[in-house]
Each structure stands twice: as C-alpha cells, then as structure tokens.
Amino acid sequence: MPDSDEFDSLSSAPVPGIDEARPDGQAPADASDLQRRLDQATAELGQQRDLYLRALADFDNFKRRTERESAARADAGRRKLLLRVLDVLDNFERAAAYRTSGTPPEQLVDGLLATVKQINALLEAEGVKPFEVSGKPFDPKVAEAVGTRAQAGKPPNMVLDEARKGYLIGDELLRPAQVIVSSSD
C-alpha cells in the first residue's frame, strides 16, 4: 500500500491541475491566478446564459408572431369566402322578395337555378368539386350506403341513386356521397 494518497491533504504529492506545470510551460498556478480564471469562466458562463435566454425569448416572440400571422391569414381567407357566400344569400333574399311581389314561379325557379350556378362557381373557385358514383360499384371510402333496393339486371353492391352528392377538395374527400345500393334480392 502506498504511503500517500492523491486525495490526502497531508500528502506531498502534486495535486493534479494545481501543482503541476501548465501546458504553456509556465509555473504552476497560484491562488490569485486560479481565482482570476474562475472569475473569467464565471463571466463567460453568465454571458452564455444571457445569450441563451435572449435566444429563447426571441424564439418565443417568433412563435407568437407566427401564430398571430397564421391566424390573421386564416381570418382573411374566411372573410373572403364569407363575403362570397353573402352574395349568394343576397340572391336568395331577392327570390323571397320577388315571391311576395307576385313574380311567376318559373322566374323564381330560374333565379334559384342561377343561384345554384353561383354556388357551384364559388365551390369550384375554392377547389371543391362533386364526384359521380351512380352506376359504379359501391366504394365505402367515398360513399355511405343509406339504403338498399333490389333492381333487376343490376349486380349487388352497385350504386343506384345518390341521396346526397359527395365532394372532393383537391384530391381529398370533403364529404362522402350518401347512396342507395343494389341488393342481391
């Protein structure tokens, strides 16, 4: 067993990092030099901490600003769409006013059909389009079966009628079609 331990304060062995020569060849560091280096390292640590906190605050501000801008863009898009819907509503209200003034029913129907065209144009401008399922095999990915009906000459699971149209937005399903499907009986 050695007679001195490197952690023994009474040992005469050099203490690593304090008593040995520095890599630059200078004499071992004294207490004032160590204190100066510690103070310098503490100051650098404080600067790095300040930089970190500033970067964190900048990131939080960026995140909040981005969320506000995103919400503002969504609101602007929603307002634009709602203004276009209000134009359609105006046409429906005009039709109601014409009804009370004695306009012939054919003219009212013509006006309503023109409004339907206006709605379809609005949907198309937003990338919404109907899709056709009548006469095709039933596909549960794009349609909901709301009823069945036996029909001679039709194989089972064929779409006979649409109770409600289905719509795509781009290439994604917006609303499934509701359909009547042929049964085997």
Question: Does the structure show a pLDDT above 70 at 170?
Answer: yes
CATH number belonging to domain 28-126: 3.90.20.20
Give the separation between CA 115 and CA 184, rounded to whole angstroms: 40
At residue 82, φ and ψ (nearest 5 deg) are -65, -35
Label each residue of 47-90 as H, E or C. HHHHHHHHHHHHHHHHHHHHHHHHHHHHHHHHHHHHHHHHHHHH
Q: Which of 171, 95, 166 is nearest to 132 (CA)?
A: 166
Q: Which CATH class is domain 127-185?
A: mainly beta
Name the segment(s) of the chain with CATH classification 2.30.22.10. 127-185
Predicted local distance difference test score (pLDDT) of residue 154: 87
**How far is residue 34's CA from residue 96's CA, in Å, rounded to a whole number?**
91
On the CB side of 118, CA atoms within 13 Å amount to: 15
pLDDT at 153: 85
Digit-coded pLDDT (tens) for 15-70: 666 555 556 666 556 888 899 999 999 999 999 999 999 999 999 999 999 999 99
Which residues of the chain are in CATH 3.90.20.20 domains? 28-126
- Which tokens hold the place of 72? 């503002």
pLDDT at residue 115 tops 70: yes
Q: Which strands form 128-131's sheet, in the order they lie side by side?
A: 128-131, 166-169, 172-175
Q: According to the model, what pLDDT value does residue 29 have?
A: 61
Q: What pLDDT does 135 receive?
A: 92
Residue listed under structure tokens 């009212």: 108
Instruction: Give the separation between CA 62 and CA 55, rounded to whole angstroms.
Output: 10
Residues 6+ apart with CB under 8 A from 169: 126, 127, 128
Give the mean pLDDT of 76-104: 89
**Nearest Cα to 146, choosing from 173, 176, 181, 183?**
181
